[in-house]
Structures are given as structure tokens and as C-alpha cells.
Amino acid sequence: MEPWQHTTVLLNEAVEALLTKPDSTYVDATFGRGGHARLILSRLDPGGRLVAFDKDPEAVAVANAIEDTRFSIRHEGFRALRELQAGSVAGVLMDLGVSSPQIDNPVRGFSFRGNGPLDMRMDPTRGQSVSEWLATAPVEQMAEVIRDYGEERFAVQIAKAIDARRQERGALATTAELAELVARTVKTREPGQDPATRTFQALRIFINAELEELQEALEASLDILQPGGRLVVISFHSLEDRIAKQFIVRHSREVVDRRAPFAEPKPMKLEALARVRPSAEEIARNPRSRSAIMRVAQRTHA
């Protein structure tokens, strides 16, 4: 059993919004530690099926311990949704962000609260770590990443400080080194927030291509959802929620081709159903849930 435990956010709300046909196939696009998946399985009929995805080998190991013939796990990011058959699933759940075991385990390098290698990869078996990227990235690119993905107004100063540090003493290797550098560089800080919060968020999102993958997965969900199938997206920061919201809005209206004004408009593909926030009771039990927003949409028959 892992020493780092994860409390699933909006557990019952998400599963109730997702499950409309218990004898059908569903997708848990981000398995994590399986909180949503286990509740879905408990409510599926014998003929139902759950397909899960996760990049993290530790999450996949947890999933492999589930002994249920209706369940399967794929060690892939959720952009691989596009590989599923068109119109084959009755619901797709995307619980975005980082799980508590990833944040709390210093070895994974996601958090400035414990010192560990500056990694931050969801799948540490593939791709560059944050430390490796920061060792060679141009100052302009570092500043752009920290500004765009972290909404950090001191992005240029932080990028220049990283560059000065690597020229003097070599690349940053640990989370503590990066957190201390940012703390020295950011002169004002938001109440109750560590000055490194936005920089760590930005580097994690960038190194895992999280926003690009989310956009690809949302587009794929349109193809694989059956008419009446549900899309449920739980996000934890404004960049993710903005993408989910704009995607649902864009596909929730008829499209008129201005080049052919008399042609029939293309029908909408989604119907927006709900926007849900955690209750005060849930936030009190699990403070990490306070920023969560769940959006629910339904595939139309178009």
C-alpha cells in the first residue's frame, strides 16, 4: 500500500453525471488511484465495461491490481482516446491535474514542499525531465512557458535567474533549488501562496504537454461518444477549465457556413448540462478540492 493517499474529488457527483446506461462501455481517461473507476465498476451491470488510461506507471500498477473482467487499463495518455471505435462509449470522464501521491512523493519532483529531483513527468519512463529541459532552454522560451502556463507576472525575471544560476553553478537539479531561486526572485507574493506555486504549475503543464493533450482528448471524445453519451471534465485551474468550457460552448451551438448562407446550419454536437463545484463539506474534508470545477455535457444525436 502506498504511503501517499489520494482523496477523489467530486466522486459521487461525477459518477452520477456520467453513468446513464450501466450496461454500456465507459472511459476513465485519467485513472489516477482509481477512486472514480472503482465506483463506476460498482454501479455497472455485468455487461458493462470500463476502459481506463494513465501515463503514470505507478497508477497503472494500482489499476492492474483490480480483478474485474469488465475493467482494462492502458498505459497511455488520454490523447489515445482517438484509438477507440467511433460511437463506442456511453461516457468519458476526465479528472485532470495531479494526484496526491504524485504531489506528496518527493521523488516525483512535482512539489516545492519536499525536496526531490526536479522531474515532474507524469510518466518518468519517457521524455525530458524539467531539470533536463531547464539546462538548455533559451531564456525567452522559459519566460514564455512560465508566463503562459503559470500566469506568472515575474516570468522574465525568473527565467533570467535560472539562466544566471546555470551559468554560474550548472543546471538546477532539485525542487528545493528551484523553489529557493523563485522565492529570491519574486518580490511580492499572493497571501497564503508560496511564490514558487505558479512556476511549478507552469513547468509541470509544459513538460507533460497537458493542455495540448486535453484539447486532443476533448476532440476525440466527440467521435467516440454515442448519442446521449456524457462528457464529464473535472479541472483544477483556470487554463484547463477555460479549454473545457470553450470546447463545450463551441460544440453546443449550430454552425452556419457564411459562404453558403442558405444552406442548413450544421447541428450542434454537444448539449451543456451542468457546472458543479465541491460542497463546503467536501472542501473542509479535502482542501485540495477547493479549486475544482466539473463541467458536464451530453453528445447530441447529430
In order along the chain (302 residues), what is the average pLDDT of each group of 10 residues? Answer: 64 96 97 94 97 94 96 96 97 86 70 86 92 97 97 96 96 94 88 88 94 97 97 95 96 70 72 95 90 96 72
Of all helices (H) and strands (E), which one includes residue 6? none
| Unique residue bearing C-alpha cell 507533460 | 208
Q: Kindly list the structural domains of the chain, giving each domain's residue range(s) and its CATH number in brackets, ordered by start.
A: 11-100+210-299 (3.40.50.150), 123-207 (1.10.150.170)
| Backbone conformation region of residue 224, classed left if phi is above 0, alpha if psi is from -120 to 50, else beta | alpha
| Unique residue bearing C-alpha cell 484539447 | 215
pTM above 0.85, yes or no: yes
Contact 9, 74 (CB under 8 A): no
So what's the pLDDT on residue 108?
Answer: 79
Strands 270-276 and 89-95, sheet pairing: unpaired
So what's the pLDDT on residue 203?
Answer: 96
Amino acid sitting at position 179: A
Give the E-state strand segments of the chain in sequence order.
25-28, 49-53, 71-74, 89-95, 225-235, 270-276, 293-299
How far is residue 174 from each of residues 104, 113, 152, 213, 237, measured CA to CA in Å?
Answer: 15, 12, 21, 26, 25
Q: Comparing C-alpha atoms, which of 179, 197, 230, 159 is closest to residue 16? A: 230
